[in-house]
Structure 1
Amino acid sequence: MRIVLVGPPGAGKGTQAAYLAENLAIPHISTGDLFRANISQGTDLGREAKSYMDAGELVPDEVTIGMAKERMSRPDATRGFLLDGFPRNLSQAESLDAMLKSEGMTLDAVLDLEVPEDEVVKRIAGRRICRNDSSHVFHVTYKAPKTEGVCDVCGGDLYQRDDDSEETVRKRLEVYHGQTEPIIDYYRGQGLVVTISALGPVTEVTGRAMEALGKKG
């Protein structure tokens, strides 16, 4: 299957993408991974992307699409792929369609993870990170430390990242509503969208997603 995964920040896209890709035996292709891989390997696209990033500018769509096209052409993607974080806007969605059409391919489904806005804010703004080791992550509601402000693992101080503040989260949601949500209507017009609730345990959400995708397969 060729799938695009969409949803607001805090919907658990990265987690679900990993589970779904494993269950469907297709590669998980995330824009973050593409950028890191191309830059670290010093590819032409990676160098071009880095020049924009170093200048504090947005990387042009054609560079992102070029990276995605190269990744989707690899042998492990012949059975399909799951795109996470791309397309991010209507222009990228239209370019992706054109690229797939030129390769004789089409998308099979667009999986929309639905989460109420207040829950998104609660999920992200409640995160606390250990200053000693950023892999030690807690949550004031869902995974509270035994002692407030203290890491259970190493005793380090827990803090809230600046980009996890409620104000920043709401700004990110505004960007999502303005730029990314329109692609859902675009793909809905093609009959590709399946929307599921992303509330509840991770395994339950994965089960809902697999059932919804099964009906599209």
Structure 2
Amino acid sequence: MRLILLGPPGAGKGTQAERLVQKHGIVQLSTGDMLRAAVAAGTPVGLEAKDVMARGELCPDSLVVSIVADRIEQPDAHNGFILDGFPRTLAQAEALDAMLHEHKLDLDAVIELVVDETILLERVEGRAREAAAAGKPLRPDDAPETVKKRINDFKSVTSQLRPFYQSKGLHASVDGMASIDDVARQIDAILAKAETAAA
């Protein structure tokens, strides 16, 4: 089972990914973690990434796709994987697609957790107030302005990715505002449909 989970910060992707990892014995792949692991392992791709990052530059798409390609060949990814935080642009989606075809693999689904941005921001602001009341520092990620920016960044990402994956019949939406169990049931129904279609 090979999936991409899409959704803005706070949509619950992490919670659902964790559940899918446990249920299906697949791995969650975060590009940030993979880059750091490749650099630490000193792989050829990792050494290239280290040079790029040392210059303070963003890793080019081709390099990130190479790191994903190396990672999905590892034994723990043979049952499948969930991609988190990648692809972020149409060019990355096309490069990922080409690489998966080279490996004779296909995505099973691209699932987007659709949320109400206003409520999402209210949640984050509520968390910020609770942290302040408890005398706890606010995580930089939870600052309302940061979240607002990340939601806007996400909107520009999905505006490119949604039509691309819709045209391939892979995109499906779930109501991310529902309870965790309801969201899980919606995702399971999409995956069951995808498995039936692939059979």
Q: TM-score normalised by the shorter chain: which range applies?
A: 0.7 to 0.9
Distance change in 2, residues 1:67/1:165 (3 Å): same
Cα distance in 2 between the residues matched to 1:125 and 1:36: 31
- Per-residue deviation at 1:98? 0.5
1:149 counterpart = 2:133: yes
Cα distance in 2 between the residues matched to 1:213 and 1:27: 16
Cα distance in 2 between the residues matched to 1:123 and 1:53: 34
Residue 48 of structure 2 corresponds to 48
**TM-score (norm. length: structure 2):** 0.87
Distance change in 2, residues 1:24/1:64 (3 Å): same
Q: Which moved more, 1:186-195 or 1:27-36?
A: 27-36
- AA aligned opposite 2:167: G
Secondary structure of 1:5's counterpart equals strand
Residue 5 of structure 2 corresponds to 5
Residue 171 of structure 1 corresponds to 149
Residue 112 of structure 2 corresponds to 112
- Per-residue deviation at 1:51? 3.1
- The percentage of aligned residue pairs carrying the same residue is 41
Structure 2 unaligned blocks of 5 or more: none
Secondary structure of 1:127's counterpart equals helix
Distance change in 2, residues 1:118/1:110 (3 Å): same
- Per-residue deviation at 1:35? 1.9
Cα distance in 2 between the residues matched to 1:205 and 1:104: 30
Structure 1 unaligned blocks of 5 or more: 129-139, 151-156
Cα distance in 1 between the residues matched to 2:16 and 2:180: 7
Superposed, which structure 2 residues align to 1:1-217 within 5 Å?
Answer: 1-128=1-128, 140=129, 144=130, 149-150=133-134, 157-217=135-195
Structure whose residues are more often helix by fraction: 2
Deviation readout 1:169-212 (Å, 9 max, x if unpaired): 22222221223431111000111111101123323322221122
**TM-score (norm. length: structure 1):** 0.80
Cα distance in 2 between the residues matched to 1:101 and 1:54: 32
Paired residues of 1:89 and 1:183 also in contact (CA < 8 A): yes
RMSD of equivalent CA atoms: 2.0
Cα distance in 1 between the residues matched to 2:91 and 2:124: 28
Q: How many residues align?
A: 195
Cα distance in 2 between the residues matched to 1:149 and 1:52: 42
